[in-house]
Amino acid sequence: MALLQIAEPGQAQAPHQHRLSAGIDLGTTNSLVATVRSGKAETLPDQQGRHLLPSVVRYQQSGIQVGHQAKQSEVDDPLNTISSAKRLIGRGVDDIKTLGSQLPYHFVDQQSSVPRIKTEAGDISPVEVSAEVLKQLSERAEGTLGGPLEGVVITVPAYFDEAQRQATKDAAKLAGLHVLRLLNEPTAAAVAYGLDKGAEGVHAIYDLGGGTFDISILRLNKGVFEVMATGGDSALGGDDFDRCVAEWIMQQAGLDENVSQGMAKRLMHAACTAKEALTQTEQTEIEVPIGTGESWQGSLSREQFNTLVDPLVTKSLMACRRTLRDAGVGVDEVQEVVMVGGSTRVPRVREKVGELFNTQPLVDIDPDRVVAVGAAIQADILVGNKPGDEMLLLDVIPLSLGIETMGGLSEKLISRNTTIPVARAQEFTTFKDGQSAMAIHVVQGERELVADCRSLARFELRGIPPMVAGAARIRVTFAVDADGLLSVSAIELSSGVQANIEVKPSYGLTDQEIETMLRDSIAHADEDKQARSLREQQVEAERVIEALQAALVEDGERLLDATERQQVDAALETLRTVSKDGDQEQIKNQIAELEKSCGFYVERRMNQSIQQAMSGHSVDEFDQ
């Protein structure tokens, strides 16, 4: 028998081994990765010193290009170069019809609810495009840090609905990343600012990115970031500014709407360049080649530009007012406004936001990087590098969740701006004798008609014990976790029978589809699938062992008697052995076994910490 290495409690592992983690800002236009090194959070550059990675992927028969190189081919090879994955992710084929006119791609006509784009390298879903961007960034981080990442925090617009969040998480899974948390972009920015300055009180985060706009109202209190309300527009951003300018150029140049895809891209590039120039100067010259050797020349003043984009800025301010009302705070209560996103460089935006909140907006941290920096700080804490840190983020669900009732109406179950995680139960009954199945349609949105809300998923409950109509009492629990993701469970109350639930996501990929993609991508990389999943299971086992060991060091003496301690140690030892010598299945079973046999200890620990938290407030506070 091999000599087992038995760790003494208190010296289980190298103390405070720094775990590698990263924060990733997966943007519409550009993406970034940041990490905490020597206590400082900073974005990481590529080998050429560039921090921003264009969120562009080019699919060719010869292979896949990501980032700057791909971006260069946008004009010459628009059909195979995908640059708007974030606008498409978690969206359905119907949404694409609305967005489609702005996008050059060829969408594949198919049954699946997820749109796929025809490229030289095959049909590609937006989830796969985002996965490529994530892969590139995590490789950059691993290269810089010199080891594999244990976990990442990925940011999403606060206004992303459930399907868009789920799709983002799927992309991370495809990229082989362990997601510690999906973090809302404005909250990430607040973390970056808040920790820097120890700020307290009500803050507004105005986040205008390339394709999305978010506004969040937060209350900061002793390290707790409490989101009071969030709002925005998932289809409003700097790209729309560019489009306004591009349309103006077309008008001036006498071009009609039916320009070629390549021409459209050139116009957008020219518009974007003009917009950027106007952040510095009062007037800029524009030159666009408009066909056979000809080009159009003209100049645009900042004043003209302001007139062009004002309707868009106003749209964002309206969302700000609505969100303030949702938060129940007046403009005068907002202490500071933080500006996030490249589009807040536009002077008109700063001016108007400053006017609304009656304060000079904060722009100290580079608006392009602030989100990634905040995500890195959060990742560092979540991965366990800062035990005892007081920071806590309490976020909300951005859009109400409801279920379809008679007449196509949505009955709200969880209203928007409810703090997550949250669980709500609803009771249903059968309307036919012996009915054994039931369908539930979950939607997200504020409107009364189901048709005006976004369909999230259809659940089918099966296995309801046969009873007369109206006798069954089925309690369905809708739970939203800290990532804003929904899960549903159901139980028939009179019999205690757990109903089976089959989920049909309206816009997402099914678990099977993800499996298939994972398999494909692995086959592509010539990696042994068995080896990979064994490795994944081993990593999971390591995580469980480490978590338990750390717990034992902390309070094993106090919370366990000798027999219990033996039991826990034995279970730990078995898992350690199995994870070295066992196969994937054995390790998985042993993890489950350990969680079962040590469950009492985990519960005792949580209770203990709750008691400790409450003991700070003794009842005599009220005995005066």
Partner 1 sequence: MLDFSKNYFDLFGLPVGYIVDASSLADRYRDLQRVVHPDRYANGTEQERRLSVQGASLINEAFETLKDPVARAAYLLSLHGVEMDVQNESTQDMAFLMQQMELREELESLREQAGPYETLLDLSGRINKQITDLVAQIAMQFETPNDEQLQEAREILRKMRFLQKLRAETERVEAELEDRLN
Residues that bind partner 1 (CB under 8 A): 19, 150-151, 180-181, 221-222, 224, 226, 314, 317-318, 321-322, 325, 381-384, 390, 392-394, 418-423, 479, 481-482, 543-544, 547-548, 591, 595, 599, 602-603, 606-607, 609-610, 612-614, 616-617, 619, 621-622
Which structure tokens are listed for 42? 């900073």
Q: What whole-number distance in Å separates Cα of residue 167 and Cα of residue 91?
A: 9
Give the contacts of 581 (CB within 8 A, at least 6 positions apart): none
Q: Identify which of residues 93 and 548 has a Cβ nearer to partner 1 in the complex.
A: 548
Whole-number minimum distance, CB 617 to partner 1, in Å?
A: 6
Q: Identify which of residues 70 and 191 has a Cβ nearer to partner 1 in the complex.
A: 191
Active site residue 86: yes
Whole-number minimum distance, CB 70 to partner 1, in Å?
A: 33
Active site residue 207: yes
Which structure tokens are listed for 463? 């296995």
Name the nearest CA neighbour of 343 among 566, 92, 577, 29.
29
Q: Identify which of residues 29 and 166 has a Cβ nearer to partner 1 in the complex.
A: 166
Q: What whole-number distance in Å separates Cα of residue 367 and Cα of residue 390?
A: 26
Q: Identify which of residues 468 and 493 has a Cβ nearer to partner 1 in the complex.
A: 493
Whole-number minimum distance, CB 98 to partner 1, in Å?
A: 21
In order, the DSSP letters of 195-259 are HHHT--EEEEEEEE-SS-EEEEEEEEETTEEEEEEEEEETT-SHHHHHHHHHHHHHHHHT--S--
Beta strands in 445-579 (DSSP E): 454-462, 474-480, 486-492, 497-498, 500-505
The pairing of strands 151-156 and 21-25 is: parallel
Catalytic residue among 161, 185, 336, 492: 185
Q: Identify which of residues 269 and 424 has a Cβ nearer to partner 1 in the complex.
A: 424
Active site residue 214: no
Whole-number minimum distance, CB 481 to partner 1, in Å?
A: 5
Q: Identify which of residues 460 and 546 has a Cβ nearer to partner 1 in the complex.
A: 546
Looking up tokens 């000798």 gives 562
Q: What whole-number distance in Å separates Cα of residue 510 and Cα of residue 113?
A: 10
Query: Do 548 and 514 contact (CB within 8 A), yes or no?
Result: no
Catalytic residue among 74, 170, 207, 492: 207
Query: Do 190 and 374 contact (CB within 8 A), yes or no?
Result: yes
Q: What whole-number distance in Å separates Cα of residue 368 and Cα of residue 588?
A: 41
Whole-number minimum distance, CB 418 to partner 1, in Å?
A: 7
Active site residue 95: no
Whole-number minimum distance, CB 618 to partner 1, in Å?
A: 8
Going by the DSSP 8-state scheme, the letter that residue 61 receives in this structure is T
Q: Identify which of residues 144 and 418 has a Cβ nearer to partner 1 in the complex.
A: 418
Q: Three-state DSSP class for 116?
A: coil
* Residue 394: Cβ-neighbour burial (10 angstroms; 0-12, 13-18, 19+): middle
Catalytic residue among 46, 71, 86, 233: 86
Catalytic residues: 25, 86, 185, 207
